[in-house]
């Protein structure tokens, strides 16, 4: 027994993943059987979030890396020794993490395969490798890219060389470049960061890159496209930066895929609303903005009354349909500047911007009636309702914790007042 506890302690304290998966040979579905504690520590974000990620890991893997992952699984199932693969996933913060998975087949019974695997975070190593590759490729930079630029720091003139076809290029010469950067079609939200990157490169030997949006300057597109600018400072004989040169790469398609994955990670799959983590984070940011701009607001928590009975009487599939309908009603009744999220199984949260406590109450009452009225079928009629708690900003709190606590107290009062109603928090 002591030996088993000792081995279990080693496995769980290993800084990395030691995992067991069940794989169906026909559907290729992957189900985690065992995940050690070290995997949770390595990925962070809490056990529930990591469990959700590995419940269907394919949804978290970058699409470009799926062929590598699938080939690795094929190699493992071939039972010809161990196999290794590297792929990127989107973590719970929306960032990209490189994982290296080394696995082999443990057992097979019919279509059911059990594999064991060691998973390590190799993000830092991959970043170093990418930087070394960028440096080795730098001498070919101006020849291998479709868009290059050369900014003369002394004359304030920038020359963009843009390829229209393999055989045809044209130059765009911009005098007084630093004051004309916006004329290159850079999105207003990215202009300041782009200017700062160039200014920093002018002051000292520097290598940098950034992603930005631009429209019409590098191509004939009518909508903004995503690009990445890679720049480097070139020192003059006097020891000062004489030129900033670099290249611009169209990354629009990859960026759209990345944003889609992040959007999927931030949103609840059933209702389309923000998940709990994203909801809280966005409300915190909104509160900071409201403090600076002296705007009012209200936090409301909505809880579905007696929802357990819906699941017990009609099944979880019908319960999911009810939650999806509630989510749709909530989403359609708030502006883009408001924050709407699902924070629990049958609990929702909304932060409403630019609203008085009185108007927040009226809106909560309207919302409760809309949700109750959406279920008119005989089997649901009169059985679906919401209890709502409201806390006003800044009257009932200046931070998320205070507002949430007071809105939850108001919700408690709504529950104990017969349900199917709203309550505004008051100190009494």
The reply to whether 247 and 179 lie within a common domain is yes
Instruction: Answer whether residue 213 is part of any domain.
Output: yes
The reply to whether 116 and 230 lie within a common domain is no
Judge whether residue 386 has pLDDT over 50. yes
Instruction: Answer whether residue 162 is part of any domain.
Output: yes
Residue 24's DSSP bridge partners are 112
**Domain's final residue, options 72, 102, 121:** 121
Q: Which residues neighbour 187 within 8 Å (Cβ) at sequence distance 6 or greater?
A: 212, 213, 214, 215, 224
The reply to whether 299 and 383 lie within a common domain is yes
The reply to whether 283 and 402 lie within a common domain is yes
pLDDT at 112: 94
The bridge status of strand 386-393 relative to strand 339-342 is unpaired
Which residues form the domain of 306? Answer: 267-424
pLDDT 10s digits, 323-348: 999 999 999 998 878 999 999 889 99
The reply to whether 333 and 405 lie within a common domain is yes
**SS3 of 101-142:** EEEEEEEEECCEEEEEEEEEECHHHHHHHHHHHHHHHHHHHH
Instruction: Answer whether residue 258 is part of any domain.
Output: no
Judge whether residue 287 has pLDDT over 90. yes
pLDDT 10s digits, 187-208: 888 999 999 999 999 998 888 9
Which of 334, 330, 337 lies closest to 271 in space, CA to CA?
330
346 as an active site residue: the answer is yes
Instruction: Answer whether residue 262 is part of any domain.
Output: no
Instruction: Answer whether residue 298 is part of any domain.
Output: yes
> How many CB atoms neighbour CB 386 within 10 A?
29
Residue 394, preceding peptide bond in cis (omega within 30° of 0): yes
Q: How far apart are CA 363 and CA 340, in angstroms?
A: 14
Q: What is the mean pLDDT of the chain?
A: 86
pLDDT, average across residues 396-413: 95
By CB atoms closer than 10 A (0-12, 13-18, 19+), residue 340 is buried
The reply to whether 142 and 65 lie within a common domain is no
> How many CB atoms neighbour CB 199 within 10 A?
11
Residue 124's DSSP bridge partners are none
**Domain's final residue, options 219, 253, 287:** 253
**Domain's final residue, options 121, 139, 173:** 121
Instruction: Answer whether residue 336 is part of any domain.
Output: yes
CATH number for the domain that contains residue 234: 3.30.450.20
**Which sign, positive or negative, has the C-alpha torsion 146, 147, 152, 153?**
negative
The reply to whether 296 and 419 lie within a common domain is yes
Return the C-alpha torsion angle 287, 290, 291, 296, nearest 10. Answer: -100
Instruction: Answer whether residue 331 is part of any domain.
Output: yes
Judge whether residue 246 has pLDDT over 90. no
Which of 283, 213, 198, 197 lies closest to 251 in space, CA to CA?
213
Q: How far apart are CA 24 and CA 109, in angstroms?
A: 10
Q: Considering the candidates 346, 359, 399, 408, report the single residue annotated as catalytic.
A: 346
Confidence of residue 99 (pLDDT cuts 50, 70, 90): very high
The reply to whether 271 and 403 lie within a common domain is yes
CATH number for the domain that contains residue 397: 3.30.70.270
The reply to whether 287 and 350 lie within a common domain is yes
pLDDT at 263: 60
The reply to whether 136 and 110 lie within a common domain is no
pLDDT at 130: 67
Instruction: Answer whether residue 204 is part of any domain.
Output: yes
The reply to whether 272 and 396 lie within a common domain is yes
The reply to whether 86 and 144 lie within a common domain is no
pLDDT at 2: 64
How many domains does the structure of the chain reveal? Answer: 3
DSSP string, 220-289: S-SS-EEEEEEEEEEE-TTSSEEEEEEEEEE-HHHHHHHHHHHHHHHB-TTT-SB-HHHHHHHHHHHHHH
Judge whether residue 220 has pLDDT over 50. yes
**What's the half-sphere exposure (Cβ side, CA atoms, 13 Å) at 328?**
8
Q: How far apart are CA 186 and CA 191, in angstroms?
A: 6
């Amino acid at each position: 027994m002591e030996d088993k506890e000792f081995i279990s302690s080693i496995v769980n304290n290993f800084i990395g993943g030691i995992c067991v998966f069940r794989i169906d040979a026909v559907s290729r579905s992957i189900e985690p059987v065992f995940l050690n504690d070290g995997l949770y520590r390595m990925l962070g974000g809490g056990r529930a979030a990591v469990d959700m990620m590995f419940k269907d890991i394919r949804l978290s893997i970058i699409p470009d890396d799926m062929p590598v992952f699938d080939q690795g699984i094929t190699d493992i199932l071939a039972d010809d020794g161990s196999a290794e693969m590297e792929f990127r996933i989107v973590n719970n913060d929306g960032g990209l993490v490189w994982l290296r998975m080394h696995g082999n087949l443990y057992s097979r019974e019919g279509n059911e395969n059990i594999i064991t695997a060691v998973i390590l975070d190799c993000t830092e190593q991959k970043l170093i490798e990418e930087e070394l590759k960028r440096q080795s490729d730098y001498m070919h930079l101006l020849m291998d890219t479709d868009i290059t630029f050369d900014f003369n720091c002394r004359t304030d003139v920038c020359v963009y060389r843009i390829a229209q076809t393999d055989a045809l290029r044209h130059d765009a010469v911009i005098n007084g470049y630093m004051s004309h950067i916006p004329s290159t079609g850079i999105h207003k939200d990215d202009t300041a960061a782009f200017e700062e990157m160039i200014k920093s490169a002018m002051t000292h030997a520097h290598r940098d890159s950034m992603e930005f949006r631009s429209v019409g300057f590098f191509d004939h597109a009518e909508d903004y496209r995503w690009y990445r600018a890679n720049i480097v400072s070139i020192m003059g004989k006097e020891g000062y930066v004489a030129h900033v040169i670099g290249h611009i790469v169209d990354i629009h398609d990859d960026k759209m895929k990345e944003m889609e994955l992040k959007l999927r990670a931030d949103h609840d799959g059933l209702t389309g609303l923000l998940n709990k983590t994203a909801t809280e984070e966005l409300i915190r940011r909104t509160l900071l903005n409201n403090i600076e701009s002296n705007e009012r607001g209200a936090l409301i928590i909505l809880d579905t009354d007696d929802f357990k009975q819906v699941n017990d009487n009609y099944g979880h599939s019908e319960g999911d349909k009810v939650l999806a309908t509630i989510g749709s009603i909530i989403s359609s009744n708030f502006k883009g500047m408001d924050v709407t999220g699902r924070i629990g199984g049958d609990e929702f949260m909304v932060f409403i911007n630019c609203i008085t406590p009185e108007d927040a109450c009226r809106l909560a009452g309207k919302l409760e009636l809309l949700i109750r009225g959406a279920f008119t079928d005989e089997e649901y009629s009169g059985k679906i309702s919401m209890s709502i708690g409201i806390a006003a900003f800044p009257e009932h709190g200046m931070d998320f914790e205070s507002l949430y606590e007071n809105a939850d107290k108001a919700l408690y009062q709504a529950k104990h007042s017969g349900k199917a109603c709203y309550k505004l928090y008051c100190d009494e």
